[in-house]
Each structure stands twice: as C-alpha cells, then as structure tokens.
Amino acid sequence: MTAELIKGKDIAALIRQEIKTEVDKLKTKNIIPGLVTILVGADPASESYVRAKQKAAHELGFHSIQENIDASISEADLLALVEKYNNDPTIDGILVQLPLPKHIDESKVLIAINPDKDVDGFHPVNVGRMVTGQPAFLPCTPYAVQQMLIRSGVQTEGAHVVVVGRSNIVGKPVANILIQKAAGANATVTVCHTRTKDMAKHTRDADILIVAAGVINAVTADMVKPGAVVIDVGVNQIGMTESGKRKLVGDVDFGPVSEIASKITPVPGGVGPMTITMLMQNTLEAAQKRK
C-alpha cells in the first residue's frame, strides 16, 4: 500500500469537537439544536445510518427525536408528520431517511420540508441555491467529500475531478459543489454514468476521482492515474461479521487501487462517518439562524 489513507473517522472527530464548542456557545443563549430523524420501514442499512445519526446528535448535546414509522404509512400521514415538525420551534432540522417505500412519492415529501429546516439539502430551493452559489444547506455526503479534500490538503482548484455516478444524493450535487467559484472548489468536473462511453478514458484523466456508483469494483486499478486522489463513496454489504455487524466494501477495488493512488478513503471509516458529521454541522447552522 503506497496511498495515504484519508481517515474520515479522524476528520469527523475533529469537526465534531468544533461543533461541540459552538453548541456550548448556543446553550448560553438558551438555544439547543434540535434534530428529528424520520425512518420509514425497517431497511437494515437505513436503520444503521439513522442510529449513527441519533448517536452523534446525542453526543453533541442536541435535542434529538427519532421517529420510527411503519412502512405502511400513507403519503398523506407522512406529509402531516413533516408538517408537525415544520411547526415545532424546538426542531431546527428534519431528516427523512431515503429511500422511502415505493407507494410514497419521495419528491413530494422532500418538498414538504421547510427549506430552513432542510438539513439534508434535498429541497429544490436548497438545490437551486447550491447550484447558483448562494448560501445553502449542502447535501451531507457531497459536503463530506469536499471537507475531506480540504482537510487533507488536496488542492481542488484547477484539478480535474471525475465523478462516477449521477444520483441526486451524491453525483449531481458533488459535481455542482466542486465547480463553484469558491474556496475548496474551482475544479474542472466530468460526470460519468451508466451511459458513458469508454469510462476508463475519463477516470484515467482524473486528478481526483469520486466514486458513487453503488457497484462493487466499479473502479479498478487500470482505471486510475498514478498519484490520483480517490474518494470512495460506495457502501456495499458483502456479509455479516460474527458479532452481527455489516461487512462492507466500497465501489473501488481498494487493494490494487491503493498501490497507485496518492490518497484514498477507506470503507468503512471514510465518507460514511463524515456524512453524519456534516448533518450535525447543518443542524448546528440551522439552530444558529434561529430567530
């Protein structure tokens, strides 16, 4: 292994300390950041992520509520639940964990969240603000990727960033964040997806390769330029450990790619813990803007 690890867990711990300092300041003004996480159904991966979000909120001294909702909830009832928290003055951030059951229109639910409480950054108002370079809640995973680059000293300015994947949660927003005329951005961005011709031609040209394909080994060593920085957003379950934990790999063929890259993120312990941390950051910022 020659690549240096970008340890998301360590960077997350540092940022959580910074957040804690700000939470303590807010508490002197009698403001406690409030977060509600809404989990519909019992997908084991979603349960694991939401549990981690609640744990982080608790450790930071947030007021946090966990709503575990049966998968059979109607769309109307879910919209009413969102509205309840839109009107709750103790709640600064509302997170509806995705994916939702098929009978519920995800976009209808996301648009129902008050944009000022949209700490996930998925409301079209926040997406529009992000794209046009206005202050906005940035979606947590793309925000995490940007912070990991900045805090490990990776220069994005003028770099060729290649993104593999075009989801609304990762690919599209991370590309938009990194093309902004702003510090920690100013990159030239190429987005590859399932209809891209000769993907390896593009990925081999990347100074920074961000992989969010949702496919094991979507990126192999022959697709990476020597010295590139590789950010692996994938979380794929390949089994269970004896202690009942999910056994995970990313989208990148980690062993061989880490012989070629200059820096690489591990899975687990990479982007995942940072995603949760940036949700805490957004919730803090929402509380700081409380009127």
Question: Would you name the residues annotated as active-site residues?
Answer: 53, 97, 120
List the 4-5 sheet strands across, edge first. Answer: 4-5, 263-264, 229-232, 208-211, 160-164, 188-192
Residues 256 and 224: their CA atoms lie apart, in Å, by: 10
Residue in the block written with tokens 């946090």: 64
CA-CA distance, 133 to 177, in Å (whole number)? 8
Cα dihedral 46, 14, 244, 230 in deg (nearest 10):
70
Report the C-alpha gap between 124 and 41 in whole angstroms: 25
- Figure out which of the listed residues 96, 119, 187, 280 binds ligand L34, where binding follows CB under 6 A: 96
Among 10, 20, 48, 217, binds ligand L34 (CB under 6 A): 48
Q: Are strands 208-211 and 229-232 parallel, antiparallel or unpaired?
A: parallel
From 155-163, 202-210, 211-219, 270-278, span contacting ligand L34 (CB under 6 A): 270-278
Hey, which residues between 172 and 231 contact ligand L34 (CB under 6 A)?
A: none
- CA contacts within 13 A on the Cβ side of 177: 29
With CB under 6 A as the contact rule, which of the stretches 171-179, 257-265, 273-281, 282-290 interacts with ligand L34?
273-281
CB of 41 to ligand L34, least distance (A): 12
Only one of the segments 89-97, 130-138, 199-207, 282-290 lies at the binding site for ligand L34 (rule: CB under 6 A); that segment is 89-97
- Shortest Cβ 181–ligand L34 spacing (Å): 26
Q: Does 41 bind ligand L34 (CB under 6 A)?
A: no
142 binds ligand L34 (CB under 6 A): no
Give 190's strand partners: 162
272 binds ligand L34 (CB under 6 A): yes
Size of site (CB under 6 A) for ligand L34: 22
Q: Which stretch binds ligand L34 (CB under 6 A): 48-56, 100-108, 123-131, 205-213?
A: 48-56
120 sits near ligand L34 (criterion: CB under 6 A): yes
In this complex, which beta carbon is closest to ligand L34, that of residue 169 or of residue 261? 169
Rounded Cα distance, 157 and 149, in Å: 11
Helix runs in the chain, H state only: 8-27, 44-59, 75-86, 106-112, 124-131, 140-151, 171-179, 199-203, 254-258, 271-288
Residue 254 contacts ligand L34 per CB under 6 A: no
Name the residue with the smallest CB distance to ligand L34: 272
- Site for ligand L34 contains 97 (CB under 6 A): yes
Q: Is the peptide bond prior to 99 cis by the omega test (within 30 degrees of 0)?
A: yes
Enumerate binding residues for ligand L34 (CB under 6 A): 48-49, 52, 95-98, 120, 140-141, 169, 235, 246, 248, 267-270, 272-273, 275-276
